[in-house]
Every structure is written in structure tokens, then in C-alpha cells.
A and B are shown apart, each in its own frame.
Chain A
């Protein structure tokens, strides 16, 4: 295999100007990430220098066979941690040949919200805590769990080390460095309460870039788990019973919230979120009702609540924000399988643009 490793690691820049661009898009389920690569004549530094492309939408549930082309518009570039050199990853969104966003393209509406002058002026920042579970490949049972049985109850696993407590750290650590290499604003990682479950955080990132970065971080994670021979799951409640689910807590602040007197702005924003709780919940990920039970550090899905340092509430405000009178808050409702374009833009829309009637 080391012949293959040599070839994969070849630094082509000694022999050619050409680079490889891996175009990434979201498929028909709204959660499946797809990609394919093409050769470009030379290095690029901006999405505007990269051509549109197309793919077979009939193979991803996004177009019929008779009219199968879906067009890819490059939106963000990252360095490719697998091919390295001048090679790149390109996050794209999807359009019909006529130029309309296809139904599964959630980025389009998010970009419109983030381009609204009122939203731009508020410079919304996001820090997204992406939880996920690693599963053994052929049995789809969590990594490290005995097949046909269960590990000891939750307690010892959160942030721990040890062969009997921490399963899959090589995936997590490789992902951390790969994401930093790629230029993603990954701010940290930790082992989670349920064994085999982990979390990484992306942010603080402004507006639409938060979501571009989360999607590419998810893609890099899926490539790494592929190499490691384990299966990645974003299911919000992978194991029923006394086991934590997986969320994508979304930390949020606007310019006003970060300035003196910001705590009042935060409280008003939280109140608006409370008035639109049902609308948000329907967009916060499929299967979330299995996770938001009111137990296991969640709030019940039917009830909106908030509190300082309260992990059992829908929205949590940190002690430091309370003390400083300004800062940010955490929406704990989104599931691990949420679409960040939808969630981040909806939070901005509700808290900045929406007016209660």
C-alpha cells in the first residue's frame, strides 16, 4: 500500500501548474454530502475564478433522468487536506439550468437573509457545536460498544481518556488538524457523554460562512471516517434509552449583543425566539422529537424555556455573559442533523428582522 501512499502524496507542483478542485454539494436528502473532482489549469484564490459545473441530479434524487443536469455554483474555497499542495475543496450550491435554486438548496434563501442590510449591520456571529456518533462499519453499533451488548452507564466518558472510555480519538484528532489546514475556523473538540460520541465546534464565523464551514467540516469528517473504516452518524438519538442524543447547539450574537447593554438585546431576542418556537423546531432537524425529551440535558420539544447556565433549557445564557452585561447565547434546540444554512439564517431572521404581530 505504500506505493499508493507515495502516489497520493505526490506534490504535483514540481511538474505541473494544474490543480485538482473537489466540488462539494448537498444531495437530495438534505444531509447527504456529495463530491467529485476536476482538473483546473492553475491555482485559484477566489470562488469567482472557478467555473460553474454540473452533475447528474437523477442519481441524487434532485432531477429526472430526461432532464438530469443540476448546475453547481462555487461559493467558498478551502485547502484540500487530503491532496494538499494547491489543491482545493469547493463548497457549492445547486441550481436548475435556468438559474433557479433547486428545492433542496437552502443556502440561497439564507444568503438573501444574510445580505439584508439590517442583518449585515448586525454582523451575526455563530459558533456551532456539532455532535456526532461513530459506528462500527458492518453492524452499525457505536464504536467501542460490545456487539450484542452495552458499555457501562454514562458518567466516565465525557472528556475522558483511556482505552475503556474513549473510542475513535484518531478520527477526531485527524479531523481537527485537517480542518485547521483547510482554513475552517474550528475552535475545539471534546469527547461526549455517550461513549463513541464526539463534538467539534466551528466559529465564531460571520453570517453565511458559518454554514459553509460546517458543511465542509462535515465532508472532511466523512472522508476521514471512510479512511478509518468507521461509519459517521448525525442521527439525533442514535441509541434509545438512558443514552444522550446528539445536537448542534448554535451559539449566536449580534453587534448589539456584544456591546454594552447587550444583555437587554439578548433578552428581547430570546423572547422573539420563544414566540416562534414551533416554526423553529420544525426546521431544526428530522427526528428531534426522539432527542428533545426534557431529559439528558435537553428541554422538552413542546416547551420553550431559557436560563443562565441551564442545560435543561431551550436557550442557555452563559454566566460570563450575565456578568458582563453583554455577549452571546446558546440555542440548544437544533439536532445534529440540522442544516446550518436554515438554522443560522432563521435565528438571524427572527431576532433581527421579524416583528411580532
Chain B
């Protein structure tokens, strides 16, 4: 295999100016990531220097066979941690040939919300805690779990080390460095309460870039699990019973919240979120009702609550925000399979522009 590895790791910049750009987009389910690569004539530093492209939408449930072209608009560039050199990853969104966003393109509407003057003035910051579970490849049972059985109950696994407690760390650690290399604002990682479950955090990122960065981080993770021969799942409740689910807690602040007196702005914002609880929940990920039960560090899906340091509430305010009188808060409701374009823009819209 090392001949292939040698070839895949070739540094082409000594032989040619050309670079490889991997165009990434979201497919028809809203959760499946797709990508393909093309050669460009030289290094680029801005999405505006990249040509639009297209793909076969009839193969991803996004167009019909007789009118199958979906157009890719480049939106954000990252360094490619797999090909390295001057090669890049390009996060794109998808349009009809006529220039309209296709129905699964959630970025378009999010961008409009983030471009509104009131929202832009508040400089909304996001820190997204992406949880995920690793599964053994052919049986789809969590990594490290005995086939036909269960590991010992939760307790020893959160942030633990050891061959009997931590399963898949090489994936997590290679993902951490790959994302830093790519230019993603990855702020940390930890082992989760359920064995085989992990978390990484992206942020603080401003506005639409939070969504771009999270999607590319998810893509990099799927490429790494592919190389490791394990399966990645973002299902919010992969195993029924006394096992934690997987979320995408979204930490949020605006300029006003980060300034003196911000705690009052935070409390008003949380009140507006309470008034739109059902609308938010409907957009916070499929299958979330299996996860938001009121047990396993969640709040029940039908009730809205908030509290300081309270991991059983819908919204948690950290003790240091309470103490400083300003800061940020954590929306714990989104599921691991949420679309960050939808969730981040909805939180901004409800708290900044929406009036009860």
C-alpha cells in the first residue's frame, strides 16, 4: 500500500503550477455530503477566483434525469489536508441553471439573514459542539462494543483514556490536526459519555462562516473515517436505552451580549426563543424526539426551560457569563444531524430581527 501512499502524497508544486480543487456540496437528504475534484491552472486565494461548476443532480435526488444539471457556486476555501501542497477544498451551494437556489440549498436563505444590517451589526458568534458516533463497518454497532452485547454502563467513558474506555481516538486526533491544517476554527475535542461517541467544537465563527466550517469539518471527518474503515453516524439517538444521544449544542452571542450589561440582552433573547420553541424544534434535526426525553442530560422536547450550569435545560448559561454579567449562552436543543445554516440563521433571526 505504500506505493499508493507515496503517490497520493506527491508534492506536485515542484513539477507544475496546477492545483486540485475538491468541490463539496450537500446532497438531496440534506445530510449527505458529496464532492468531486477538478484541476485548476494555478493557486487561488479567494472563492471569487474559482469557476462555477455543475454536477448530476439526478444522482443525488436533486434534479430529474432529463434536466439534471445543478450548478455549484464556490463559497469558501480551505486547505486540503489530504492532498496538501496548494490543493484546496471548496465549500459550495447549489442552484438551478436559471440561478435559483434549489430547495435543499439552506445556505442561500441563511446568507440573506446574516446580510441584514441589524444582524450584521450584531456580529453573531457561534460555537458549535458537534457530537457523533463511530460504528463498526459491517454490523453498524458502535466501535469498541462487543457484537451481540453491550459494554459496561456509562460512567467511565467521558473524557477517558484506556483500551477499555476510549474507542477510535486516532480518528479524533487526526481530524483535529487535519481541521487546523485546513484553516477550520476547531476549538477542541473530547470523548463523550457513551463509549464510541466523540465531540469536536468549531468556533467562535462569525455568521455564515460557522455553517461553512462545520460542513467542511464534517466532510473531513467522513474522509478520515473512510480511511480508518469505520462508519460515521450523526444519528441523534443511535442506541435506545440508557445511552446518551448525540447533539449539536450551539453556543451563541451577539455584540450586545458580549458588552457590559449583556446578561439582560441574553435573557431577553432567551425569552424570544421560548416563544418560538416549536418552530425551532421543527428545524433542529430529524429524529430529535428520540433524543430530547428529559433524561441523559437533555430537556424534554415539548418543554422549554433555561438555567445557569443546568445541563437538563433547553438553554444553559455558563457560570462565567453569569458572573461577568455578559457573554454567551448555549442552545442545547439541536440534534447532531441538524443543518448549521438553518440553526445558526434561525437563532439570529429570532433573537435579533423577530418581534413577538
How distant is B314 from chain A, measured CB to nearest CB, in Å? 14
- What residues on A are CB-neighbors of B79 within 8 Å? 15
- What residues on A are CB-neighbors of B309 within 8 Å? 66-69, 97
Bound-state Cα–Cα, A33 to B81, Å: 32
> Of B41-49, B91-99, B162-170, B278-286, which binds chain A?
B162-170
Mask of B155-184 contacts with A, CB within 8 angstroms, 1/0: 110111111111001110111111011000
A7 at the interface (CB under 8 A from B): yes
Partner of A66, one of B161, B310, B320: B310
Are A10 and B178 neighbours in the complex by a CB distance under 8 Å? yes
B→A interface (CB under 8 Å): 1-2, 5, 8-9, 79, 81-82, 146, 155-156, 158-166, 169-171, 173-178, 180-181, 186-191, 193, 224, 227-228, 297, 307, 309-312, 318-320, 323
Mask of A43-65 contacts with B, CB within 8 angstroms, 1/0: 00000000000111011110001
**Chain B interface, DSSP helix/strand/loop, else mixed:** mixed
A290 at the interface (CB under 8 A from B): no
How distant is A141 from chain B, measured CB to nearest CB, in Å? 13
- What residues on A are CB-neighbors of B165 within 8 Å? 226
Taking A10-B181, A39-B180 as contacts, is the C-beta distance between A4 and B161 under 8 angstroms? no
Are A39 and B174 neighbours in the complex by a CB distance under 8 Å? no
Taking A12-B177, A97-B319 as contacts, is the C-beta distance between A1 and B163 under 8 angstroms? no
A37 at the interface (CB under 8 A from B): yes
Are B81 and A2 neighbours in the complex by a CB distance under 8 Å? no
Question: Which partner residue on chain A sits nearest B193 by CB separation?
Answer: A59
How distant is A4 from chain B, measured CB to nearest CB, in Å? 4
A161 at the interface (CB under 8 A from B): no
Are A56 and B311 neighbours in the complex by a CB distance under 8 Å? yes
- What residues on B are CB-neighbors of A4 within 8 Å? 170-171, 174, 224, 227-228
Bound-state Cα–Cα, A208 to B343, Å: 47
Q: A-B contact count, CB below 8 Å?
A: 134
Bound-state Cα–Cα, A10 to B181, Å: 8
Are A37 and B166 neighbours in the complex by a CB distance under 8 Å? no
How distant is A57 from chain B, measured CB to nearest CB, in Å? 10
How distant is B186 from chain A, measured CB to nearest CB, in Å? 6
Are A231 and B164 neighbours in the complex by a CB distance under 8 Å? yes
- What residues on B are CB-neighbors of A59 within 8 Å? 158-159, 193, 297
Partner of A36, one of B178, B189, B224, B227: B189
A225 at the interface (CB under 8 A from B): yes
Are B159 and A35 neighbours in the complex by a CB distance under 8 Å? yes
How distant is A60 from chain B, measured CB to nearest CB, in Å? 6
A232 at the interface (CB under 8 A from B): yes
- Which residues of chain A from 201 to 254 have a CB within 8 Å of any chain B CB? 219, 222-223, 225-232
Taking A10-B81, A231-B163 as contacts, is the C-beta distance between A39 and B186 under 8 angstroms? yes
Are B310 and A65 neighbours in the complex by a CB distance under 8 Å? yes
Most buried by A among B156, B180, B187, B228: B180
- What residues on A are CB-neighbors of B180 within 8 Å? 12, 15-16, 18, 20, 39
How distant is B202 from chain A, measured CB to nearest CB, in Å? 10
How distant is B40 from chain A, measured CB to nearest CB, in Å? 21
A137 at the interface (CB under 8 A from B): yes
- What residues on B are CB-neighbors of A67 within 8 Å? 309-310
- What residues on B are CB-neighbors of A58 within 8 Å? 297, 311
- What residues on B are CB-neighbors of A60 within 8 Å? 158-159
Are B161 and A35 neighbours in the complex by a CB distance under 8 Å? yes
Bound-state Cα–Cα, A2 to B8, Å: 11
Are B191 and A231 neighbours in the complex by a CB distance under 8 Å? no
Partner of B312, one of A35, A36, A65, A227: A65
Partner of B319, one of A20, A69, A137: A69
How distant is A215 from chain B, measured CB to nearest CB, in Å? 12
Bound-state Cα–Cα, A1 to B188, Å: 23
- What residues on A are CB-neighbors of B187 within 8 Å? 38-39
22 contacts between A and B (CB under 8 A): A2-B1, A2-B2, A6-B9, A7-B174, A8-B177, A10-B177, A10-B178, A12-B177, A15-B79, A32-B156, A34-B159, A39-B186, A59-B158, A59-B297, A60-B158, A66-B309, A68-B309, A137-B164, A222-B161, A225-B162, A226-B169, A229-B163
